[in-house]
Amino acid sequence: MEIQQTYCFMKRRNLAAKSILLGCLSGLIAVMFRLGLEKAEEIRALLLSLLRNSYALAPSLIFAICMAIILICLKRWAPEASGSGIPHLKGVLREGFEFRAVPVILVKFFGGIIGIGSGLALGREGPTVQMGAAVGSICSDFFKSNTHERNLLLCAGAGAGLASAFNAPLAGLLFILEELQQKLDRFSLVVAFAATISANIVCRLLLGQSPIYKLKLLAYPDLKLILWSLLFGVILGFLGLAFNRLLIKSLRVFGPVRMALGVLLGVLFGFTGFYYPDLLGSGHRLTEHVFAGRFPLKILFVFLIARFLLTLLSYNTGAPGGIFAPILLLGAISGGIFYNLVNLVQPGDFDLVVFLVLGMCGLFSAIVRSPLTGTVLIIEMTNEFMLLLPLMIVAIMAYAVPEFFHNKPVYDELLDVELEKRRAIDLS
């Protein structure tokens, strides 16, 4: 018994050391990817401002060519790097999909920067999760790990990627346990902790320690917020249900014409960028404007519909990019709309920030179906610990609506779509 305990202790220590190295590498790639995206979005804004008058068609042509190049490279070298990459990772863990780590990292990194930089309404977190898992795959090959240890390192790399993308180490840890492994044991916990902490240290050393969104509640919300949280959670649950169903249906419709859709979107981005540039790309700047309360109710409705459709269409191209950040933006816009409606009934009783934060958490929970990860992620991103109780209420109510209608979590649905494609190819 004592020998077995000693062996387990040595194995955990060995895994922790590997996970620290893995976390540092994953964090470094995530930081480089984030900086690359920021620079790409700056270049897009500069391009649109320089060519606005004299060469108005040039941005559309440039973005369309960029989209075509991305999709050609994706199809030729790493089809598994399409979309967020999280469904592919779940397929590797559950179905034994092949994981070609180096092509995935290269296509995901450069394809994500060019695609989102061109205007795709997608986020950085899906690519960083898959690239982190790819680093885990490389590490497992280097250390000649067995299947169980390899899967642990894949999950650890994925969680490290998420922790780095949002500067949220605890959310990265919970993502591993709640979404990928769906179990808790000592080995999983040690590996997850070591990888996400080391990745986040790298992120904070290079990018600073501030949360993604710098907010400040003036006072703790009134208990009446609980009742509004219940209602808001239900509304977000139906919005999440609609997003999931439309995303899966649209993937089956647009699957055969991805290239044409990508080129057409590139043309659309050129014209949209002249008039509504904040609608394009990851949406971080638009989220900040929403938090600043700069838009009236009518404009928020327009932005909600526009970003909803742009996110669905962008994901349907198959270009590298995640849906975490778009979900959070849609949730924030929904929170702004709900705040305006609540303010008609109870004017001045609540802060706008409250409903923006609740909206982000609730829609994440409704779509991804990981309420604990969503709650902790939003707290780490906003530093609003006072909203823990209403966040939990919104998360579980939003979670309950799609579950009532037997709707699968979005990444499970996306994995089913991928499995259907593979079966169709095998049959043909």
Digit-coded pLDDT (tens) for 247-282: 999 999 998 899 999 999 999 999 888 888 889 998
Task: Count the domains in the chain.
Answer: 2
> Dihedral sign, CA of 208, 214, 219, 224?
negative
Q: Chain-centre distance of CA 126, in angstroms?
A: 5
Task: Report the range out of 91-100, 221-230, 268-277, 388-397 with the highest average pLDDT.
Answer: 388-397
What is the per-residue pLDDT across 192-248, written as a single tens digit (0 to 9) for each? Answer: 889 999 999 999 999 888 777 777 665 667 778 899 999 999 999 999 999 999 999
CATH classification of the domain holding 175: 1.10.3080.10
Q: CA 105 to CA 111: how far, in whole Å?
A: 10
Mean pLDDT value of segment 399-416: 95
The yes-or-no verdict on residue 1 having pLDDT over 60 is: no
Q: Are residues 258 and 189 in the same domain?
A: no
pLDDT at residue 8, rounded to an integer: 53
Q: Are residues 416 and 323 in the same domain?
A: yes
Is 167 inside any structural domain?
yes
| Cβ-based neighbours of 216, under 8 Å, separated by 6 or more | 353
Mean pLDDT value of segment 281-286: 88
Q: Are residues 62 and 144 in the same domain?
A: yes
Mean pLDDT value of segment 148-172: 90
Is 425 inside any structural domain?
no
Is 262 inside any structural domain?
yes
What is the per-residue pLDDT across 288-324, written as a single tens digit (0 to 9) for each? Answer: 889 888 899 999 999 999 999 999 999 999 999 999 8
Are 44 and 266 spatial neighbours (Cβ–Cβ below 8 Å)? no
pLDDT at residue 264, rounded to an integer: 95
* Domain span at 383: 225-420
Measured in degrees and rounded to the nearest 5, phi and psi for residue 153 equal -70, -35
Q: Are residues 321 and 413 in the same domain?
A: yes
Is 294 inside any structural domain?
yes
Counting Cα atoms < 13 Å in the Cβ hemisphere of 244 gives 29
Are 233 and 398 spatial neighbours (Cβ–Cβ below 8 Å)? yes
Q: Are residues 312 and 165 in the same domain?
A: no
Q: Are residues 40 and 177 in the same domain?
A: yes
Is 215 inside any structural domain?
no
Where is the domain boundary, 181, 207, 233?
Answer: 207
Q: Are residues 253 and 378 in the same domain?
A: yes
Counting Cα atoms < 13 Å in the Cβ hemisphere of 276 gives 14
Q: CA 328 to CA 325: how far, in whole Å?
A: 5
Mean pLDDT value of segment 322-334: 94
Is 68 inside any structural domain?
yes
pLDDT at residue 218, rounded to an integer: 56
pLDDT at residue 181, rounded to an integer: 78
Q: What is the mean pLDDT of the chain?
A: 89
Mean pLDDT value of segment 333-346: 94
The DSSP output letter for 78 is: -
- Of 109, 73, 68, the C-alpha closest to 267 is 68
Q: CA 247 to CA 361: how far, in whole Å?
A: 20
Q: How many CB atoms lie within 10 A of CB 207?
A: 15
Q: Are residues 190 and 301 in the same domain?
A: no
Q: CA 365 to CA 240: how far, in whole Å?
A: 8
Q: CA 297 to CA 86: how far, in whole Å?
A: 34
Q: Are residues 193 and 246 in the same domain?
A: no
Please report which confidence band the pLDDT of residue 7 belongs to, taking 50, 70 and 90 as the band edges.
very low
Are 213 and 342 spatial neighbours (Cβ–Cβ below 8 Å)? no
Q: Are residues 263 and 198 in the same domain?
A: no
Q: Are residues 337 and 229 in the same domain?
A: yes
Are 43 and 217 spatial neighbours (Cβ–Cβ below 8 Å)? no
Is 243 inside any structural domain?
yes
Please report which confidence band the pLDDT of residue 10 belongs to, taking 50, 70 and 90 as the band edges.
low
Is 2 inside any structural domain?
no
Where is the domain boundary, 207, 237, 262?
Answer: 207
Are 25 and 150 spatial neighbours (Cβ–Cβ below 8 Å)? no
Q: Are residues 408 and 296 in the same domain?
A: yes
One-letter amino acid for residue 91 of the chain: G
What is the per-residue pLDDT across 134-148, written as a single tens digit (0 to 9) for each? Answer: 999 999 999 888 888
Where is the domain boundary, 207, 237, 255?
Answer: 207
pLDDT at residue 11, rounded to an integer: 65
